[in-house]
């Protein structure tokens, strides 16, 4: 079957793009569409054309795997111009996701009809690019300029209802998209063609002050990402210039950005995120049934996991130690789902349905039917083992037992039950219903179908599931410990916590390590350090500053003081002279003569620590690839995406600036 085929019936040509999995606009699709324009123009029996896609989605964009290679003709910008210049009206019939080049093709069409669940967007910024086939030029000529700028700069797609409201779609189909599109095409057949978008004036013209505000607010969220800044500029130019001149500007920016190392980094991560969960050894392994999941513990993590499970359609039973704790846990779940209603993510009815699938109990017997249990109890080996013993007697013998531990030895936990092949680690990140990362920890004796079920769960939850071997901290927390230690050294040696945090933010992290610890709570790390104290190598350098803060009850934001001082209710800390005194005192105690650190040296040291720990993790087989480490650090630890992750950055020889 060719990538594009044409069926003509009763004067309407239906041009179908069929290029699985996502109808990317590779060469065969581009030339197929260009041929379809020529053919339908020539065919006197054709009065209107419907452009539709087979399979799960409308065209999801240019074929990213062709990027970086010479682009064979016809190029996408020309294909869009050809559709726009067609002599018969073209109607784009959109289902699934019309993204990037896909939406640009739809903008070349004279009309657009959208399936009620369709999403439309231009996500090129996430690949370090801007739309390159007229998106920045045609969008503000069909939707208000502020909306166009927002779509191009954030890459966030909009739904069918909004597309209709802002003018991006002309019709919505609630049933049979193909039939509705043909009916629409029949209606407009023979009528004069609307003026080509590229020849029109923008929908509105914000004055300088208004544009300044729109652009300023979008650019302020760029955090060092070039494509966002260039995207906003390109829309500004597209509004200022006539359409044809604007297309040339857009093309130049697109070409420049294609050569920008940031784009290479973002494309690396795009493919890494999609390949990281594919495990060769699990090919053909049939996963176990997964309908009903138990969650042990209703704290922040347990409740977040329960919400994630419910939202993916699973039935959930939560276990807590007593009625009060259970009520609190259930309340957390209900509240989180209510917040999702308020944010428009689910309807109030949907929330009710989800809550019907949510059972709470203080008795492990309620787990007799579950297919999988995830424990999210206190991070202590003794407590975990008690829970696993109870799980073993309460659950079916084929139920999978998962621990959400972030540091503990999953092999030791597995060995505590009679059938260790049922046990694996599922390390979620908080808030568990929001964060995309899931480390799937593989103890030595885990059965293949248990592991495969873990990956099925990851997919159901919409997470990026990264396999990790057993070690202290797995991939992410182990690297975090390594670079936190490096930061502690630097602070004792003379860098201030705020200098370290500022350097990290300038590099592109959303916050620095010390502000992050204050947000998460210093007590957690303190407990872990006390646990490890007996086995710590006495010859290894140990920085006791954080312990001193904890001894004073300074656990971070929640106590108003940590590495920083938080005046009444503030979420932004300010430097605290007491912390400086403690640091100076520790340095003096250890005979350290403090010195100045530049931001560059700080980042060199942090990245050096990340990369050498990452290399050790690779050498030990804890991570399957350097790309897996990049995916973890970007999705769980705030590493700037546009730098491609620490391993990629090191390999590409990126500068810190
Ligand atoms: C662009 O359009 C530039 C133009 O402005 C100008 C040009 C001149 N190309 O994500 P999934 C593969 S830039 C090639 O797991 P989902 C993907 O690698 C583009 N391959 O599925 C995976 O392969 P595999 C702007 C692509 O259902 C398979 O498809 N567009 C492309 O979770 C399934 O993908 C975008 O940035 C592509 N464009 O999500 C959209 N897209 O099975 C990028 C996907 O071998 N794509 N693949 O691992 C997406 O956001 C998601 O894939 C989508 C489906 C939402 C479509």
Res 656: pLDDT: 56
**Ligand 1 pocket member 24 (CB < 6 A):** yes
**Ligand 1 pocket member 65 (CB < 6 A):** yes
**Ligand 1 pocket member 317 (CB < 6 A):** no
Res 155: pLDDT: 97
What single DSSP character describes residue 260?
S
- Interatomic CA distance for residues 218 and 207, integer angstroms: 17
Instruction: State the residue for tokens 């040339």.
Output: 248
Q: Closest Cα to atom 23, ligand 1: which residue?
A: 274
Q: Closest Cα to atom 10, ligand 1: which residue?
A: 274
**124 has catalytic annotation:** yes
Task: Specify the ligand 1 atom closest to the Cα of 274.
Answer: 48
Task: Specify the ligand 1 atom closest to the Cα of 57.
Answer: 56
Partners of 442 in beta bridges: 469
Task: Specify the ligand 1 atom closest to the Cα of 126.
Answer: 36
**Ligand 1 pocket member 100 (CB < 6 A):** yes
Q: Closest Cα to atom 33, ligand 1: which residue?
A: 21
Select from 160, 56, 76 the least CA-distant residue to 118. 160
Instruction: Find the catalytic residue in 104, 439, 586, 613.
Output: 104
Res 407: pLDDT: 86
**Residues contacting residue 100 through CB under 8 Å, at least 6 positions apart:** 60, 61, 62, 121, 122, 123, 124, 131, 135
**Ligand 1 pocket member 124 (CB < 6 A):** yes
Q: How close is the Cα of 188 to the center of ligand 1, in Å?
A: 32
Task: Confirm if 94 and 108 have CB atoms less than 8 A apart.
Answer: no
Res 655: pLDDT: 59
**Ligand 1 pocket member 175 (CB < 6 A):** no
Task: Specify the ligand 1 atom closest to the Cα of 270.
Answer: 18
CATH number 3.40.50.720 is the correct assignment for the domain at 280-468: yes
* Residue to mutate, 17, 21, 66, 121, ligand 1, most ligand atoms under 8 Å from C-beta: 21
Q: Closest Cα to atom 39, ligand 1: which residue?
A: 22
Burial class (CB in 10 A: 0-12, 13-18, 19+), 282: middle
Q: How close is the Cα of 578 to the center of ligand 1, in Å?
A: 52
- Interatomic CA distance for residues 639 and 224, integer angstroms: 12
**Ligand 1 pocket member 99 (CB < 6 A):** yes
- Interatomic CA distance for residues 386 and 379, integer angstroms: 12
Res 325: pLDDT: 96
Q: Closest Cα to atom 35, ligand 1: which residue?
A: 61
Q: Closest Cα to atom 54, ligand 1: which residue?
A: 22
**Ligand 1 pocket member 53 (CB < 6 A):** no
Q: Where are the domains of the chain?
A: 4-259, 280-468, 476-621
Domain spanning 476-621, CATH class:
mainly alpha
Q: How close is the Cα of 190 to the center of ligand 1, in Å?
A: 36
**Ligand 1 pocket member 132 (CB < 6 A):** yes
CATH of 4-259, picked from 3.90.226.10, 3.30.70.60, 3.40.50.1360, 3.30.9.10, is 3.90.226.10
**Ligand 1 pocket member 101 (CB < 6 A):** yes
Instruction: Find the catalytic residue in 84, 124, 150, 273.
Output: 124
Tokens of 248: 């040339």
Q: Closest Cα to atom 47, ligand 1: which residue?
A: 22
**Ligand 1 pocket member 64 (CB < 6 A):** yes
Select from 490, 465, 513, 468 the least CA-distant residue to 637. 513
* Residue to mutate, 61, 104, 129, 462, ligand 1, most ligand atoms under 8 Å from C-beta: 61
Helix (H) or strand (E) holding 375: strand 372-375
Q: How close is the Cα of 29 to the center of ligand 1, in Å?
A: 15
Task: Specify the ligand 1 atom closest to the Cα of 130.
Answer: 5
- Interatomic CA distance for residues 54 and 43, integer angstroms: 23
**Ligand 1 pocket member 29 (CB < 6 A):** no
**Ligand 1 pocket member 21 (CB < 6 A):** yes
pTM for the full predicted model: 0.91
Q: Closest Cα to atom 53, ligand 1: which residue?
A: 60
Res 215: pLDDT: 96
* Residue to mutate, 23, 59, 64, 455, ligand 1, most ligand atoms under 8 Å from C-beta: 64
Q: How close is the Cα of 267 to the center of ligand 1, in Å?
A: 11
Tokens of 523: 């007590």
* The dihedral sign for the CA sequence 372, 467, 403, 606: negative
- Left, alpha or beta for 20 (phi > 0: left; psi -120 to 50: alpha)? beta
Task: Specify the ligand 1 atom closest to the Cα of 62.
Answer: 2
Successive 10-residue mean pLDDT values, the chain, 657 residues: 92 98 97 98 97 97 88 94 97 98 98 98 97 98 97 97 97 96 96 94 93 95 92 96 96 96 95 94 95 96 96 97 96 96 93 95 96 94 95 96 93 97 96 96 97 97 97 94 97 98 95 95 88 89 97 95 92 94 97 97 98 97 97 97 96 69
**Ligand 1 pocket member 97 (CB < 6 A):** yes
Q: How close is the Cα of 61 to the center of ligand 1, in Å?
A: 7
For 213-235, b/e burial (b = at least 16 CB within 10 A) is: ebbeebeeebebbbbbbbbbbbb
Q: Closest Cα to atom 27, ligand 1: which residue?
A: 22
**Ligand 1 pocket member 258 (CB < 6 A):** no
- Interatomic CA distance for residues 503 and 485, integer angstroms: 16
Beta strands across the sheet bearing 119-121: 97-99, 119-121, 158-159
Q: How close is the Cα of 475 to the center of ligand 1, in Å?
A: 27
* Residue to mutate, 3, 20, 22, ligand 1, most ligand atoms under 8 Å from C-beta: 22
Select from 624, 625, 622, 642 the least CA-distant residue to 634. 642
Task: Specify the ligand 1 atom closest to the Cα of 56.
Answer: 27
Task: Specify the ligand 1 atom closest to the Cα of 63.
Answer: 9
- Interatomic CA distance for residues 627 and 357, integer angstroms: 37
Beta strands across the sheet bearing 4-9: 4-9, 12-17, 48-53, 90-94, 111-115, 171-173
Q: How close is the Cα of 22 to the center of ligand 1, in Å?
A: 6
Task: Confirm if 302 and 295 have CB atoms less than 8 A apart.
Answer: yes
Instruction: State the residue for tokens 């019936």.
Output: 9
Task: Specify the ligand 1 atom closest to the Cα of 132.
Answer: 6
């Amino acid at each position: 079957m060719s990538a594009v085929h044409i069926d003509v019936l009763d004067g309407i040509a239906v041009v179908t793009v069929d290029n699985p999995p996502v109808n990317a606009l590779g060469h065969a699709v581009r030339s197929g569409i260009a041929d379809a324009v020529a053919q339908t123009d020539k065919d006197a029996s054709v009065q209107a054309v419907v452009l539709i896609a087979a399979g799960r989605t409308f065209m999801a964009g240019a074929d990213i795997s062709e990027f970086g290679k010479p682009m064979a003709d016809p190029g996408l910008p020309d294909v869009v111009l050809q559709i726009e210049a067609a002599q018969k009206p073209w109607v784009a019939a959109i289902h699934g996701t019309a993204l990037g080049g896909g939406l640009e093709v739809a903008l070349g069409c004279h009309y657009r009809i959208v399936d009620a669940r369709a999403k439309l967007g231009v996500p090129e910024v996430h690949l370090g690019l801007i739309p390159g086939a007229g998106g920045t030029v045609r969008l503000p000529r069909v939707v208000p300029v502020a909306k166009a700028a927002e779509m191009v700069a954030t890459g966030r797609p909009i739904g069918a209802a909004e597309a209709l409201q802002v003018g991006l779609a002309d019709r919505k189909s609630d049933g049979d998209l193909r039939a509705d599109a043909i009916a629409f095409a029949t209606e407009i057949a023979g009528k004069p063609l609307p003026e080509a978008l590229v020849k029109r004036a923008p929908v509105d013209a914000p004055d300088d002050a208004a544009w300044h505000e729109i652009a300023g607010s979008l650019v302020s969220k760029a955090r060092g990402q070039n494509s966002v800044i260039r995207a906003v500029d390109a829309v500004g130019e597209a509004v200022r210039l006539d359409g044809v001149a604007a297309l040339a500007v857009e093309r130049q920016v697109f070409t420049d950005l294609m050569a920008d190392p940031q784009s290479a980094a973002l494309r690396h991560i795009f493919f890494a995120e999609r390949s990281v969960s594919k495990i060769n050894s699990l090919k053909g392994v049939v996963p176990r049934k997964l309908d009903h999941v138990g969650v042990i513990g209703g704290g922040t993590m347990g409740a977040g996991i329960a919400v994630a499970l419910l939202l993916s359609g699973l039935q959930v039973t939560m276990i807590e130690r007593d009625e009060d704790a259970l009520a609190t846990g259930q309340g957390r779940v209900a509240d989180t789902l209510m917040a999702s209603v308020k944010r428009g993510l689910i309807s109030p009815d949907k929330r009710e349905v989800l809550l019907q699938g949510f059972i709470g109990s203080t008795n492990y017997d309620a787990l007799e039917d579950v297919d999988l249990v995830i424990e999210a109890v206190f991070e202590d080996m003794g407590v975990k083992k008690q829970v696993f013993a109870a799980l073993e007697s309460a659950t079916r013998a084929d139920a999978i037992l998962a621990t959400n531990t972030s540091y503990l030895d999953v092999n030791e936990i597995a060995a505590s039950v009679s059938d260790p092949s049922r046990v694996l680690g599922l390390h979620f990140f908080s808030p568990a219903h929001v964060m995309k990362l899931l480390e799937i920890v593989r103890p030595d004796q885990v059965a293949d179908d248990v592991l495969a079920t873990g990956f099925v769960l990851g997919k159901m939850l919409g997470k990026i599931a990264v396999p990790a071997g057993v070690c202290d901290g797995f991939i992410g927390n182990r690297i975090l410990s390594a670079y936190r230690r490096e930061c502690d050294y630097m602070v004792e040696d003379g860098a201030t916590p705020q200098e370290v945090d500022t350097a990290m933010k300038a590099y592109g992290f959303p916050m620095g390590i010390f502000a992050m610890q204050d947000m998460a709570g210093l007590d957690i790390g303190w407990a872990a350090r006390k646990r490890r104290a007996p086995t710590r190598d006495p010859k290894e350098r140990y920085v006791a500053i954080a312990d001193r803060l904890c001894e004073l009850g300074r656990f971070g934001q929640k106590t108003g003081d940590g590495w920083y001082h938080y005046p009444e209710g503030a979420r932004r800390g300010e430097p605290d002279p007491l912390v400086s005194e403690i640091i100076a005192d520790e340095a003096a105690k250890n005979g350290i003569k403090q010195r100045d650190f530049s931001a560059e040296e700080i980042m060199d040291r942090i990245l050096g620590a990340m990369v050498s720990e990452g290399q050790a993790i690779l050498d030990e087989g804890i991570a399957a690839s350097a790309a897996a480490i990049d995916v973890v650090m970007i999705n769980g630890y705030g590493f700037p995406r546009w730098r491609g992750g620490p391993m990629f950055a090191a390999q590409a020889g990126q500068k810190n600036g």
